[in-house]
């Protein structure tokens, strides 16, 4: 499968724990995006990388959230001291070139108990 | 920032009928408008997109129209089939150095056999 890959698919954690998600973009895609989707809503932008540089972060991304893309390939999204309000589907997308066609992964569903 | 409104939130049609979903956007700098289909528990999949230099684009049973003056765009599905049942999201992007997508809240389309 050469699409966007996300792991794990599901994560259940207790409030206050830290969690980390991984996204592997489509090969040679230089842009990588993180979105959050809650039930009945469209995806909301969190942050995006061009190669290894994090170029924009949403105000939704509190200081408990951090994302990295160390070598311009895969990316990780870490949430520290999780809260019940963090429960959502975390989607990753990638694109390349100027056309901005974004391809999405299947997401990581986070449940904070 | 950009704001995208999508209507209706639910749409039920009989197989073979047409379905129309409408979106409005607020940022006149937006120039790229994709539509995604998301089946339950699956990733959003791009079905069609349009850029601000054209007014209409068609791909088999699916078409999208764009009115830049009024800042609205619409998805048209003709000859609907039960497998068209899903949630459809519109989105807008202003391009330039900002590639993030701003999504509408989605339309649950149900095609009844």
Among A96-110, B14-28, B63-77, the minimum mean pLDDT is found in: A96-110
Q: Are B64 and B88 in contact (CB under 8 A)?
A: no
A91 touches chain B (CB under 8 A): yes
| Interchain proximity B101–A43, CB inside 8 Å | yes
pLDDT at A1: 52
Q: Are A58 and A48 in contact (CB under 8 A)?
A: no
Rounded to the nearest angstrom, the minimum Cα separation between B19 and chain A is 20
B2 touches chain A (CB under 8 A): no
Rounded to the nearest angstrom, the minimum Cα separation between B89 and chain A is 7
The residues near A59 (Cβ < 8 Å, ≥ 6 apart) are none
Percent of chain A surpassing pLDDT 90: 82
Q: What is the pLDDT of residues A60-72, one digit of tens each?
A: 788 999 999 998 8
B54 has pLDDT over 90: no
| Distance between start and end Cα atoms, chain B | 41
Q: Using CB atoms, which residue from A4, A45, A98 is nearest to B102?
A: A45
pLDDT at A98: 78
Q: Using CB atoms, which residue from B42, B99, B103 is nearest to A42?
A: B103
User: pLDDT band at B97, cuts 50/70/90?
Assistant: low
In angstroms, the CA B92 to CA B99 distance is: 10
pLDDT at A38: 94
User: Residue A84 has which token pair?
Assistant: 């019940």
User: Please, which residues bridge with residue B37 across strands?
Assistant: B45, B88
Mean pLDDT of A31-39: 95
Among B3-12, B35-44, B97-106, the minimum mean pLDDT is found in: B97-106
A55 touches chain B (CB under 8 A): yes
pLDDT at B52: 86
């Amino acid at each position: 499968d050469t699409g966007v890959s996300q792991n794990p698919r599901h994560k259940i954690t207790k409030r206050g724990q830290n969690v980390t998600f991984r996204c592997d973009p489509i090969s040679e895609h230089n842009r990588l995006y993180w979105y959050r989707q809650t039930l009945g809503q469209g995806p909301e932008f969190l942050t995006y990388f061009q190669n290894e540089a994090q170029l924009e972060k949403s105000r939704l991304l509190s200081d408990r959230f951090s994302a990295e893309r160390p070598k311009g390939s895969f990316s990780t999204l870490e949430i520290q001291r999780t809260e019940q309000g963090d429960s959502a589907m975390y989607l990753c997308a990638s694109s390349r070139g100027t056309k901005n066609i974004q391809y999405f992964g299947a997401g990581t569903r986070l449940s904070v108990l | 920032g950009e704001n995208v409104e999508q209507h209706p939130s639910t749409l039920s049609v009989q197989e073979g009928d047409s379905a129309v979903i409408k979106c409005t956007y607020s940022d006149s700098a937006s120039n790229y408008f994709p539509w995604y289909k998301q089946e339950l528990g699956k990733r959003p999949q791009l079905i069609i997109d349009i850029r601000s230099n054209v007014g209409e684009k068609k791909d088999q049973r699916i078409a999208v129209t764009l009115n830049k003056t009024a800042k609205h765009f619409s998805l048209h599905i003709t000859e609907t089939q039960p497998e068209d049942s899903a949630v459809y999201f519109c989105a807008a992007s202003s391009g330039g150095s900002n590639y993030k997508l701003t999504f509408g809240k989605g339309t649950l389309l149900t095609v009844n056999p």
